[in-house]
Amino acid sequence: MTATDPQMRLLIIEDDRESADYLVKAFREVGYVAELASDGDEGLALAGSGDYDVLVVDRMLPKRDGLSLIGALREKGNRTPVLILSALGQVDDRIKGLRAGGDDYLPKPYSFAELLARVEVLSRRRGGPAEETSYRVGDLELDRLSHRVARGKDELTLQPREFRLLEYLMKHAGQVVTRTMLLENVWDYHFDPQTNVIDVHISRLRSKIDKGFERPLLHTIRGAGYMIRDGIR
Amino acid sequence: MTAFGKLIRTTAFRLTLVYLFLFALFAASLLGYFAWNTRRLITEQITATVNVETSEISDIFNRRGLRGLVFTLENRALRPGANLYLVTAPNGQALAGNVGSLMPGVMATNGWSETAYRRLDEQDTADHRALVRVTEQPGGFRLLIGRDLEERRRLFGIVAKAAQWSVLIVVVLGLGGGIFVARRVLRRIDAMTGTTQRIMAGDLSGRLPVGRSGDELDRLAGNLNAMLERIEALMMGLKEVSDNIAHDLKTPLTRLRNRAEEALASSGSEPEYRAALERTIEESDGLIRTFNALLMIARAESGQARGNMDDFDAADVANGIHELYEPLAEDDGMTLRVKTASVRLHGNRELISQALANLVENAIKYGKPLAMAQPLSAGAVGSADGKEILIEARRVGDSVLLSVTDRGPGIPTADRKHAVERFVRLEASRSQPGSGLGLSLAAAVATLHGGQLRLGDAHPGLIATLAIPALQGASDRLAAQTQDVPQKVA
């Protein structure tokens, strides 16, 4: 789990000292340049002046709350991806956060692995190529237009949902994708299943794309989620 | 604040003061109007009388000369309550009449004037006032005819007295009434305030006194009492829930603590510590999930999720959940099937999906046929091998039914009501992981949508049904469509 691009710049806007310090430390350990603002006004000033790849914004901040901060940024034409952290984890709060201009929403308490995975996806989104028509990882190929998937010379037959699952994984190839992210982005559910329902879908997909091939592409990242990548890179 | 100070601060008393002022103003203007009109009337009368007499006497003077005039005047002046008469010669000398003295200059000007005068025959020295008309007669003689204004003055006095008395009466009665009403209201408000203070001090069982008159204060007290009852019920519910939460979260927290302590005490290797930490994180994730479920239930129960509702097809929800859980069921050696009819629904799609997901998870976890019962039920169930779970979406009457049927042991009738309560885990399920909140959430979601969660017997197995009122508009459209068809046929 390392930030692959060198010097990815991150601004964390969080008023709780302890969680802020923890985040800054944890992000620096995985290779990010992480800076900290401890209230809404300071955050807005920093976000407006600095060139950041991702903003991590707590929703409840002193002086200026997170949503109004994002609104002010967007009004100025600042398009830096924003991930909202909030103790309010309900669906309508999430929708409110995304409507205000946030790009992702993570309810507290969260695991750092989940936060990191989402931040990486957001930072990659910026400046990265727009929607491509096909993805390729190793000898696995997915064509989004013809809905064809092939590994090497073998054509693979996937169910529609398996196709979408693979599509999402390949779109974020080389990045950790958590179970929650899959549930949100592939199935569009925002609740928390009490069972390992996503793992079962993954293992089905794995049996189709990796079974019988020498080098596995779909990897389980312990304590975090899944990642598709060519073993060597 | 003194009792009197409190009294005069009451709304009733202040209103009384306003009304008092208005009534006094009204009485004063009424009397003023009356006085002014009466005065005008009297003046008009006097003027008319004087005018008539002036022309009569001028006539007499013209016909019968000075002698006739003097004779007539002397004659008339002697009548009781006579008018005022005076005739002067061109040199100003009084010739006849009953006027002793006048204000200077009155005789010199023609026309109307008001003057002080004294009669010839009167002994008192007080001046009276009169309205007089002076006319010039042929030959330079001047004739004055007038009438005393005493009558008008007396009438004015009466009106003034009446005004004084009426204002006095209005003030006394008004103040008295105001104080009476204010004290009555104040007594009842004081009683209410006393009760509310007791309630604020923590005694939620207190109720406001409600009179029998059914007036606005009684209605207010009645409504406040109803509100208090609701608050008391909610507080009781809250207390129950928090007791449950405290009780049921303590178990996993204790487990968490014990593990950490154990790991700390043992002189383990790094992999062992790592494993202990991983278990700790797992345990705390479970706690977070429980909290989230509790919050979700609370939110659904309080109706906060109502803001996020739209129209959708229940069949889509059923198919979506089927698609999500089908592999999981298969891995568990069960078959998850779905049977749907398109039914429109208004609600929170996310919550309904989650409720249905909970029912499916329950069915997968607990819906396996008992090993002993299997040979018996295998025949009864027919084609299925007894490991089938069925998700259904259909419409019955005005309700949309989203149901999950399993072929497991089911829930005994006596336990069904109990099973929906928070944290309740029936005997059969204790060995399985779970928070005991799945059915509670499903029930809360159903309630939020104005429906209910029904648990029934599927002979064998459990049928759990979310019954939610169907979209009214859709049923109307449907009704309209079904009406259309026969018309076209006819």
Q: Is B438 on the interface with A (CB under 8 A)?
A: yes
Average pLDDT over residues B422-446: 67
Q: Is A197 on the interface with B (CB under 8 A)?
A: yes
Distance CA A55, CA B216 (A): 58
Q: What pLDDT does residue B48 have? A: 93
User: DSSP code of A84?
Assistant: E
- Rounded to the nearest 10°, the torsion over CA B222, B227, B228, B232 is 140
B-interface mutation test, from A195, A198, A206, A208, most B Cβ less than 10 A away: A195
Average pLDDT over residues B417-438: 62
* pLDDT per residue as tens digits for the range B119-148: 877 666 667 888 899 988 888 888 889 888
**Secondary structure, 3-state, A171-189:** HCCCCCEEHHHHHHHCCCC
Distance CA B78, CA B459 (A): 129
Domain ranges of chain A: 8-125, 134-228
How distant is the Cα of A201 from the closest Cα of chain B, in angstroms? 7
Q: What pLDDT does residue B276 have? A: 83
Do residues B406 and B363 lie in contact, with contact meaning Cβ atoms separated by under 8 Å? Answer: yes
CATH topology of domain A134-228: Arc Repressor Mutant, subunit A (1.10.10)
Q: What residues of B are in contact with residue A111 (Cβ under 8 Å)?
A: 281, 285
B361 vs A91: CB contact, 8 Å cut-off?
no
Q: What are phi and psi of B2, to 5 degrees?
A: -75, 165
Among residues B239, B254, B240, B39, the alpha carbon closest in space to that of B155 is found at B39
Average pLDDT over residues A51-77: 85
Mean pLDDT, chain B, integer: 79
Query: Residue B430: pLDDT band by 50, 70, 90 thresholds?
Result: very low
> In angstroms, what CA-CA distances link B61 with B57, B144, B452?
6, 13, 115
* pLDDT per residue as tens digits for the range B312-343: 888 888 988 898 888 888 888 888 888 888 88
* pLDDT per residue as tens digits for the range B333-384: 888 888 888 888 888 888 888 889 888 888 888 877 765 444 444 444 444 4
Query: Residue A129: pLDDT band by 50, 70, 90 thresholds?
Result: low
Higher-confidence position of B193 and B293: B193
Query: Residue B44: pLDDT band by 50, 70, 90 thresholds?
Result: very high
Distance CA B356, CA B404 (A): 8
Distance CA B345, CA B401 (A): 10
Dmax over Cα atoms in chain B, in whole Å?
Answer: 157
CB pairs under 8 A between A and B: 66
Q: What residues of B are in contact with residue A195 (Cβ under 8 Å)?
A: 328, 361, 364-365
> In chain B, positions 268-297, which contact chain A (CB-CB < 8 Å)?
278, 281, 285, 288-289, 292-293, 295-296
Do residues B337 and B321 lie in contact, with contact meaning Cβ atoms separated by under 8 Å? Answer: no
If one looks up domain A8-125 in CATH, what number appears? 3.40.50.2300
Q: What pLDDT does residue A2 have? A: 45
Does residue A71 carry a pLDDT above 60?
yes
Place of tokens 């002010």: A72
The structural architecture, per CATH, of the domain B308-479 is: 2-Layer Sandwich (3.30)
Does residue B482 carry a pLDDT above 50?
no
Token representation of residue B242: 């928090």
Q: What pLDDT does residue B424 have? A: 60
Q: What pLDDT does residue B377 have? A: 43
User: DSSP code of A152?
Assistant: T
Q: What residues of B are in contact with residue A200 (Cβ under 8 Å)?
A: 327-328, 331
A195 vs B288: CB contact, 8 Å cut-off?
no
Element (H, E) at A17: helix A17-29
B292 vs A193: CB contact, 8 Å cut-off?
no
Q: Is B328 on the interface with A (CB under 8 A)?
A: yes
A194 vs B350: CB contact, 8 Å cut-off?
no
ipTM: 0.80
Q: Cβ atoms within 10 A of the Cβ of B214, count? A: 10
A194 vs B289: CB contact, 8 Å cut-off?
yes
Q: pTM for this structure? A: 0.61
Query: Residue B11: pLDDT band by 50, 70, 90 thresholds?
Result: confident
Do residues A193 and A184 lie in contact, with contact meaning Cβ atoms separated by under 8 Å? Answer: no
Out of A103-117, B96-110, B114-128, B143-157, pick the least confident: B114-128
Q: What pLDDT does residue B191 have? A: 83
Distance CA A119, CA A81 (A): 9
Distance CA B122, CA B116 (A): 14
The CATH number, out of the four listed (1.10.3470, 3.30.1380, 3.30.450, 3.40.720), of the domain defined by the range B11-154: 3.30.450
